[in-house]
Structure 1
């Protein structure tokens, strides 16, 4: 065999791979088989995603068609309830007024609807799975590698199977956002429950508490600050994924950012990016402050 790089044989310089023809046949077989499955169960897939479509459309209509002043008042009320900080409230009012002045109100409301539904679905999925992980080491060892893959896989890759299965539209984008955003909710729910003081669990056992009573009366309340951190991270990841999900038909600010990148519209991209950052900061400050208040309240209760 002829010498190659560094005087080594060719076999050691170039990794031996399958012939191109074999790779093409294999990829074609997998792709066609996947498409056949999707065509066969397309009606069932549409029926399964219909509630998500209805929920998302209802919330988006409520946000975009309601008077802007009413939406602003409700948003400020939520921020005040979560943060109890006038600085956060004032910052929210200023940011939302600037968003409206620059003509981004409707797109922002569309993005808010998407993030709200994605966060809600992620919590519905992540909370039970996190509880199961905390109660079963075997389930944790099974699910942890899947979560590692979900968190390290490039966000664009999520769109490929989602588009193949669900097509183009808001619901496929929503599903991609949920897949990307749900791992922190699962992990931090698991972590919060496992970090509950063992002495407290033993005290509950001594009082004859059932596993359900321990979960709802002891473990979940004490792990609520950690769970709220998971909610915070889920919201942040949902917002970051909205831009990528705009490639499959999700509207709102993400669509505008994608168009700005494609057409090199600096001002459009900057303004829509500012709106996304403003929403992210509002949600981040509110959820963090709410989690801190819960933690202080529990600390005062233990004292």
Structure 2
């Protein structure tokens, strides 16, 4: 990527889920995310207009780890960015295929989003925040209702998952598979800054079962730069996926003081027990 021209950030939204959730199965896992979209791929016509935006997408992965289909689940409102994202992902993205309980390669899905930007990344406030999404999902994967709660200064780049297409293999995976009755799914993104307000990770409650966890810890220095980012736990369908350290965390607003702030960032998906 050539520095100083533009910046592309791959932000994991809900990571991956198997096309058919089965006990003992494993989801499709990305292999070459750094090659999916680069700064050189920015469409010239869009660049001339100074346009940018975030494209959320859902990929259907075949049993060979190739992209069989790409669906834009949240538009950037720039048609060419939407089209370019899906075209490049279909051409370049490669996966370790999902496997069923018997170890056989099966079809799977992967959902995430790209932020296309011509300028420097937006600066985040030094604060704790949490975005919690509550989804009631029916037996066939249809999202019956969706609502969000936002606490603190939640960055716009986190987007929303209430745009999820349904019914789909992904929403079936979120609810733990096809089954009887409706199921409440909670998806949460939490950033807790040491010494500031702390938000409880709801998915860890006694009445919840975690289906996906991807967390990291890092330091935000007085300059606003992020350093010493390290994975801090994975569970469920997020096991083996890139840690949040690859999501383009920060930079933060410069702050007074000589010591860095320690921060924990987590994405948790859970269902009722």
- Could you say which TM-score interval applies, normalised by the shorter chain? under 0.3
Higher helix share: 1
Instruction: Report the structure number with the largest CA radius of gyration.
Output: 1
* TM-score normalised according to structure 2 size: 0.25
* TM-score normalised according to structure 1 size: 0.23
